[in-house]
Chains A and B, each alone.
Chain A
Amino acid sequence: MDSLRVRIRSGASRNRFAAIAATTTLVLGLTAACGSSGGSTSGSADSGTIHVLVYGDSGNTVEQQIVDTFNKTSKVKAVLYTIPGADYQSKLNTIINTPQAPDIFFNWGGGSIAPYVKDNLLLPLDSMIAKDPGLKDNFLPSVFNTAVVDGKSYGIPMRGTQPVLLFDNKQVLASAGLSVPQTWNDLLGDVAVLKAKGITPIALGGGDQWPTQMWFEYIYDRVAGPGLFEQALAGDKAAWSSPDSVKALGMVKQLVDAGAFGSNFDSVKFTDGGSPALLAKGRAAFELMGSWEYSTEQSSDPDFAKNGLGWSAFPAIPGGKGDPADIVGNTNNFYSVLKKTQHPDAVAAFLKLMYSDEFVQAQLAIGNLPTTTNTPTFLSTSASPGYSQFQFNLVKAAPSFQLSWDQAYPPAATTTIHTAVQEFFDGKTDTNGFIQAMQSLATS
C-alpha cells in the first residue's frame, strides 16, 4: 500500500517536471522572439531609415504627424522613437555613442549638446544651410542661436518656444483687490496682502528644484542684465561674487523671508501636478512657470485655464541693469543630427518640414508656439489666440532670451545648480555658499 503510494507520487512528479521543462522551453522561445522584435536596436545603417528620437510627452502627436508627412514622399523612411520625460537626457547620453543611437534627436540646444559637440559626434548643419538658407532664415534669430556652438549651427528649432511667465489666479487677485505686479515692490506688496488673507502668495514646486531656479534666473537678469550669467558661463567665475550677484541673492532672500512661497514648498512638486493645482484651486495666487503651464492647467482643469488663468511678464526691478522686456526660459527645442548618419540628404529634407505651414499649424493646434517667421500668419488658428499672441510678441520684442541655467550648462552641472538653488531657498546655504557652489561648476 505504502510503496504503491510512493510510486504514484514519484510518477506524478516526473510528469510535473516534464511539464515544467516544456513550459520553460516555450517561454524561453517566446522571450527570444520578443527580444528580437521589440526595441530600437536595428541601427541606422540598414537601408533606407532614419531614426528620430524625441522627448516623450503629449506633444508627440505632432512629431508623428510630421514623420508621416515626410514618409509619404521620401524613399528613406523616418521612424519616431520616444523616451518618457524625466529620463530623456540620461537615456540619450547612454546611447548616443552606441549602435542604438538615432540619426536625429530632440534637445534643448546650449549646454545640452555641448558635450556631444566636443566629442565630435554631431554634424554641423552649416553646409545644409548653405544649400537651403531657409533652414536658418525662417526662424527667429534669438531662438536659432541657442543651438549655435563655437560659431557652428547644430540644431533646427522643432517645437514651440517656452518663455517663463508669471501666472496668476484672476479670481484670487480680484477678491484680494490686487492687480498684476508691474514692479518688484508691487510684488512684495501683493505678497504681504495675500499672506495676511491666509493664501499662499506664490505656488512653488520646490521638490522639483528647477521651478525654484526660475526665480534666480529672472532676478539675476533684472538686477544685473543678461551679461553676468553669460560671463559666468563663459568661464569668468568672478561674476558670481560680483556686487550685482550678491544684490540679486539678497532680493531672492527678501522674497523667501517675506513668506512669499509659504513654508512647505519643498514637499510640493510641479511635475506631479501639485503646484498647478494650488493655483487652480485658489490656494495660491501666483506661479512662475514655463509657458506650458497653460496646457498643464488645460488638461487638469479646462475651465480654470479658460476663465481663471492670468499671465504677465516678470515684474521690473527699478534701478537694475536688466531690460524689463528680457525673458528667460527654453527658447525652443531642437533637432540635432549625428555625424554618423547614412542619409544626410534625407535628414536635410526632413528638417525642412520644421518651417512648413503644416508644422506651424499643427504645433499651434496643441498650444505650442513655433518660432518660425511665418508663425504670425497662423496665430489666429491657435488653441488660444490671445495667449499665443502675447507670447509671440514677448519673444519677438525681447532684447535677451536667456536659456534656463540648467540647460545652458552641460548636463553634469544640473545637480549642483539644483541643489544650490534649493538650499538657498531653505536657508541651508547662505550667499557665500551659493556663490561657491556656482563657482565650482565646470564651464567648458
Chain B
Amino acid sequence: MSALSSAVELGRRRLKARRVGVGVTRPGFVWAAPATVFFLLFAILPLVLVAVLSFTSWDGITSPHFNGLANWTTLFHDPVMTQSIWLTLLLTVLGVVTQTPISILLGVWAAGPQRNRAVLSAIFFVPLLLSATAVSVLWRALLDPNFGIPGQLPWLFGNGNLLGSQSGSIAVLTFVGMWQFTPLHALLYQGGARAVPQVLYQAAAIDGAGTVRQFFHITLPQLRNTMITSVILMVVGGLTTFDTVLILTQGGPGTDTTVSAYYMYEQGFKNFDFGAGSAIALVLVVVATLISLAVVRLSGYDKMRSTTEGIS
C-alpha cells in the first residue's frame, strides 16, 4: 500500500548492500517466524479460504458444499455486480481526481514558509483524526434534508434530496471521501515537498523562474514518488469503500451506489449467500492487485524492476 515507494528504495539498497558484502553474524529466519506465522494464519489463510468458498454454496448455517462455477456464472450475468464494478471504479477515479490536486496544493503550501501555516494546518488535519464511521455519521446528520444544513440553505441545496438520486449520492460519497482523506494525502505531499533539494529552487530563481513555473517544473516532478504512493493509497482505499456507503447510502437509492465491497457485504451478511459474497471478494482482490501493479508499472517501471531483482 503506502510504503510502496520505500519498497522501491529497498530493492536498490539491497543490491548495493550485497555488493559491499559484510562478514557479520546475521539473524536467522527464526526472527521472521512469529510475524510470518501470524500473518499466514490471519491474512493469507482467509485469502485462500475466500478463493475456495467462491466455488461453494454456503448459507452460513450448514457446512459449505461445492457447487462448481455456479456463483461465477451467476455473477457474470448479474447486472448489479457489473454495475457495482463500474461504480467502484467511478468512485475511485473521482476520489483520485478530486483529492490529488487539492492535497498537492495543500501539502506544498503547508511545507512552505508562511508564518500562519502551523496554526492553519493544525485545523486542516483534524478530519484525519476521525474514523470513517465518525465522518459518515457526522455528514449523514449535517446533510439531512429537513434537519441538517440543506434545510437551512434551500437556495443552495434545493429540496435537499441529495441521497435520493444516483448523481446526488455519488457526489455526496465523493465529497465526504475528499473531506476525510485529503488531509492524509496533503501530509504525504508536505513530507515530499520538504524533501525537495533547495538547490533546485535556488538555481531556478537565478534563471528567473517565478513561483508558478517553479511549482510545475520543480515541485511537481520531484513529488513523483510521493504521487505514486498517494495514488496507490487512494486506489486501494477507493476500491474498498465500505463504511461510508453502509452509513450514508446503504447502497441506495435502489442499487445506485451498491459498490463491490458493499455488495459483497450485502450478499454475505444480509442475504446469507456467502459463496456469492466470496466470489465478489475475490474479484475485488484481483482488481486491487492489478490496479496497484499497473500504477507502479506505468509510473515507475524501471525502479520496479530493480525491486524485483532485490527481492528474489
Contacts and interface: CB of A to CB of B under 8 A. Distances in A.
The answer to whether A and B touch directly, with their CB atoms under 8 angstroms apart, is yes
Interface of A: 90, 93-94, 96-97, 115-116, 119, 121, 206-207, 209, 262-268, 272, 274, 277-278, 283, 411-412, 414-415, 419, 422-423, 426, 428-429
Contact of B252 (A90, A411, A422): A422
Contacts of B255: 419
B254 A419 contact: yes
Interface size bucket, B side? 20 to 34
B177 to A, nearest CB: 19
B163 A90 contact: no
Contact of B164 (A90, A116, A265): A265
Contact of B160 (A115, A116, A264): A264
A115 B161 contact: no
Contact of A426 (B59, B61, B159, B164): B164
Closest 4 CB pairs of A and B: A266-B164, A264-B161, A423-B254, A267-B163
A133 B153 CA distance: 62
B144 A267 contact: yes
* Residue among B61, B160, B162, B271 with max Cβ neighbours from chain A (10 Å): B61
Nearest to A420: B254
Interface string B253-276: 111000000000010011111000
B160 A267 contact: yes
A426 B266 CA distance: 21
- Is the contact region of chain B dominated by helix, strand, or loop, or is it mixed? loop
A267 B145 contact: yes
A394 B160 CA distance: 38
A349 B35 CA distance: 52
A206 B271 CA distance: 20
B146 interface: yes
Contacts of A268: 144-146
25 contacts: A94-B269, A115-B59, A115-B61, A119-B62, A207-B252, A262-B159, A264-B159, A264-B161, A266-B164, A267-B162, A267-B163, A272-B140, A274-B147, A277-B147, A278-B146, A283-B146, A412-B271, A412-B272, A412-B273, A419-B254, A419-B255, A422-B252, A423-B254, A428-B254, A429-B254
Nearest to A283: B146
B253 A93 contact: no
A409 to B, nearest CB: 11
Given A414-B270, A415-B266, A266 B253 contact: yes
Contacts of B143: 267
Nearest to A412: B271
Contacts of B60: 93-94, 97
Nearest to A265: B164
Interface in B45-102: 59-62
A426 B254 contact: yes
Given A97-B61, A423-B253, A277 B269 contact: no
A94 B270 CA distance: 10
B257 to A, nearest CB: 12
B272 A93 contact: yes
A346 B13 CA distance: 70
Nearest to B143: A267
Contacts of A277: 146-147
A52 B162 CA distance: 42
Given A90-B269, A93-B272, A116 B145 contact: no
Nearest to B140: A272
